[in-house]
Structure 1
Amino acid sequence: MSRDDNVKVEGTVVKVHSGGMYQVETDDGRSIRTKLSGRMSRFRIKVLLGDRVTVALSPYDLTHGLIVYRGK
């Protein structure tokens, strides 16, 4: 699957789990379990509680995703 096939949604980090997992609440009220994408962990971009993030979701499973961008 290419990077263009992903569904991108905006949300806020509401909980930080162990093992690099995050709970993100989207703007439409859904809760998504996410982790950092490879580029964000490679460049050591930190994501904290309350940060605005962009999440890339697979069209097959909309409950898990990758954080691809951290807003300010």
Structure 2
Amino acid sequence: MAEEELLTMEGYIEGILPDGRFAVLLDNEHKIIAYTAGKMRKFRIRSVVGDRVHVEMTPYDLSKGRIVFREKTPGQAGGPPRRRSGFRR
């Protein structure tokens, strides 16, 4: 049995819902509910309201999706948070 092709859409995060889900407004003005992909959770990529994201959806249910990529926006601090170097003996 072949795997079905996934639809990839772009949109903005409109709201944060319980259980790690997000309300996403797609570029074609449709609202969907999306969750973050496992790699995004593994590498602790945080998403906030207003972020531009790429969402994968199955053709069988166009009301739900999975966030697979968060675009970098200009003005955001880049790189991982810096560790404190306050070593004391």
**1:21 corresponds to:** 21
CA RMSD of aligned residues (A): 1.3
Structure with the largest fraction of strand: 1
Instruction: Give the gaps of 5 or more residues in structure 1.
Output: none
Instruction: Report the Cα distance in structure 1 between the residues aligned to 2:59 and 2:28, rounded to whole angstroms.
Output: 17
Point out which structure has higher relative CO (alpha carbons under 8 A, 6+ apart).
Answer: 1
Question: Moved runs in structure 1, 4+ residues, more than 2 A?
Answer: none
TM-score, normalized by length of structure 1? 0.93
Instruction: Report the Cα distance in structure 1 between the residues aligned to 2:40 and 2:6, rounded to whole angstroms.
Output: 17
Which structure has the larger Rg over C-alpha atoms? 2
Query: How many correspondences in the alignment?
Result: 71
**1:37 corresponds to:** 37
Instruction: Give the gaps of 5 or more residues in structure 2.
Output: 73-89
Instruction: Report the Cα distance in structure 1 between the residues aligned to 2:6 and 2:38, rounded to whole angstroms.
Output: 15
Identity of matched residues, %: 35
